[in-house]
Amino acid sequence: MRVLGLVVLYIAVALFGAAALAKLPHVLYGKRIAGQVVDADTGQPIAGAHVAFIWVSGIIPSGFTGHNSRDICYHAAAAVTDQAGRFRIEPWRKWSTYNVYPEEPVALVYARNYIPDQILLHEGYYMAPIERMNERFALKVFRGNVDQRMHMLFWGLANRGCSYGGESQKSLYALLKALFEESRQIARTKDNQDTVDIIARMAAKAAIAQDPNGHVTEEQMNEFILEHLK
């Protein structure tokens, strides 16, 4: 019984220590990423395509189980391709108190008249960031109807925000504004317009760098939308 008691005490101390350490600032980082966006059928480069990366991790459990853990996006970065379809994302490092793994990111790729895509840059549960200098993202031409397009613009890309990314959220604004502008131009029904309004809010949240624990008001959101997205 004495040994069992010591084991339980040891585990309790270890868990307490892990929970305390989780709240201390530590470094999160991402490596350099570069590559090209091309037409999947012709292989030709796509200029003006938006390429965004979001770093997402599950919160590391600080108790006996991870039942209450959730995924959060802790950083975002984005670029627009040049005439050769090429893009480049610089490496980054920042201090954080989020108890997350430094993960490889998810790529979000969008271009007018093409099917948007989300690409996992790694397979499996966890992989630390590595430098990637020759990524190649191939997009297929979109040939569907308006409702299908609206569904793709929202569920394929716009709903992937980065609420815990701090100032890095602002890098997503150009992509979200492009999604808003296309969706506004093609919207035909009330349901379509509702989707446009939601995308506008997502763009505003990115531009303002809304913090889930902050104090961005509805009035601030609406003012930004009226000034920049109408």
Please answer whether residues 116 and 157 qualify as being in contact, where contact means their C-beta atoms are separated by less than 8 angstroms: yes
Tell me what pLDDT residue 21 has.
Answer: 43
* pTM for this prediction: 0.85
pLDDT score recorded for residue 2:
52
Burial of residue 225 (number of CB atoms within 10 Å: 0-12, 13-18, 19+) = middle
Say how far apart CA 4 and CA 87 lie, in whole Å.
58
Dist CA 173 CA 178 (whole Å) = 8
Per-block mean pLDDT, blocks of 10 residues, the chain (230 long):
47 42 75 98 98 91 53 95 98 90 94 96 81 97 97 94 93 97 97 97 92 78 91
Q: Are 179 and 110 in contact (CB under 8 A)?
A: yes
Number of residues that make up the chain: 230
Domain 25-228 in CATH 2.60.40.1120? The answer is: yes
The answer to whether 6 touches 106, Cβ cutoff 8 Å, is: no
What is the rounded CA–CA span in Å between residue 210 and residue 216? 6
